[in-house]
Amino acid sequence: METTGTNQPILRPSEAAEFAMALHEAPGAYLGYGPVPVLAHAPHTTLRMRRESFREVYGAIVARIGEPTLYGGSASGPHIRWRDPDRIVLLAGRPHGAELSVHRTDALEAEEMRIFQWGGAWSAEEQHDFDLLPYIWQLDRSGPGEPPAERTTGRMASSLKHFESALTLLLTAWVEQLAVQVGGDWAGFSLTSGADRGRQIHLSYALAEGLQVSVDDRDGADDEERARVMQNRGWHSRDRGWWQAEFPDPERAEAAEVARLAIAELHARGTREPKELRARDVSCKDRGELLLPGLGVRH
């Protein structure tokens, strides 16, 4: 067992699994206590390194107590819960690691609901707080336990700049977190705008393919002038009327570039406010219900 600078223990994967079992089977002895670190990341660790170091801990816990009720993650790391009406065992990422804890279900979910409902930026001039939300994506595949009856509608962005930040955080989280929890399954969605009805911008991530973004430009000219315009915006290639950009081995910079490209395209085609946008066809390999409460637009 290692220690942190505050002398709190960092449990090895096998120890983390045994501790998770104790929280899962006999939570009463641990309710009210602070979370226990199970993983530490060095400063400036890449998303790939964070993903692989978390994989070992998560795999050991799942092998001991089974698949979670809800997969997910925040801007700080994975946010995975084994839930029933009485208790939630929470494996939560932090900027420099991950922690295990157990909570009374009603109390934790009520506090999280308040954060979603009452925080955030009420105008474009204020600072957004998508990076502080308890979770920005969540996947329910009808695993063990019971999902909550009430789900948050999420935090809405107050400007396209805020939406770009939220989208960057979501894509960055997927790069770090998704493959550990769902293997090779892809996750994705399409953006549509009331300012440009009928058009889609599609975004997706899977470990094998990386980050991909594409826009329907079948009504655009297929000539050199149009190609120059689209390439200057950042698009890579055109295929059957869709312009696309692919990043097979993404890190933080590539996640930010995909978000920038999508918002720049929306703006170029007339979108001015996040309220004009909708996320459609939100899915993780068409299995379960994928929620994006930290995306910043309705879905």
pLDDT, tens digit, 9 for 90 and up, residues 119-177: 877 777 888 999 999 999 999 999 999 999 889 888 899 999 999 999 999 999 999 99
- Tell me the pLDDT tens digit for each residue of 207-240: 999 999 999 999 999 999 999 999 999 999 999 9
Q: Within a 10 A sphere around the Cβ of 96, how many other Cβ atoms?
A: 16
> Is the Cβ–Cβ distance between 3 and 10 less than 8 Å?
yes
Order the strands of the 36-40 sheet from edge to edge. Answer: 36-40, 97-104, 87-94, 77-83, 71-74, 137-140, 289-291
- Structure pTM? 0.95
Both tokens of 24, joined, read: 């899962």
Give the SS3 label for residue 41. coil
Phi and psi dihedrals of 227, rounded to 5?
-60, -40
pLDDT at 94: 93
CA distances from 239 to 217, 228, 242 (A): 10, 15, 5
Nearest to 261 by CA among 168, 199, 184: 168
